[in-house]
A = this chain, B = another copy of it.
Amino acid sequence: MDIAILGTGPVGTTLAAGLSAAGHRVAVGTRDPTATRARTEPGPFGTPPFSAFLDAHPSVCLCTFAEAAAGAEVVVNATTGHVSLEVLALAGPENLEGKVLLDVSNPLDFSRGMPPTLTVCNDDSLGEQIQRAFPGARVVKALNTVTAGLMTAPRALADGDHTLFLCGDDPAAKATVRRILQEDLGWLDVLDLGGISMARGTEMYLPLWVRLFGALGTPMFSVKVVR
A binding-site residues for B, Cβ under 8 Å: 112, 117-118, 121-123, 157-158, 161-162, 165, 191-194, 198, 200-202, 204-205, 207-212, 214-216, 218, 220-227
Contacts and interface: CB of A to CB of B under 8 A. Distances in A.
A224 B227 contact: no
B192 A215 contact: yes
Main SS of the interface on chain A?
mixed
A210 B202 CA distance: 11
A193 B212 contact: yes
Contacts of A221: 225-227
Contact of A214 (B117, B158, B194, B208): B194
20 contacts: A117-B123, A121-B121, A121-B122, A162-B224, A165-B208, A191-B212, A192-B215, A193-B211, A193-B212, A194-B211, A194-B214, A200-B211, A201-B207, A201-B208, A201-B209, A201-B210, A202-B208, A221-B226, A223-B223, A224-B226
Contacts of A214: 193-194
A223 B224 contact: yes
A200 B204 contact: no
Contacts of A202: 208
B208 A216 contact: no
Contacts of A201: 207-212
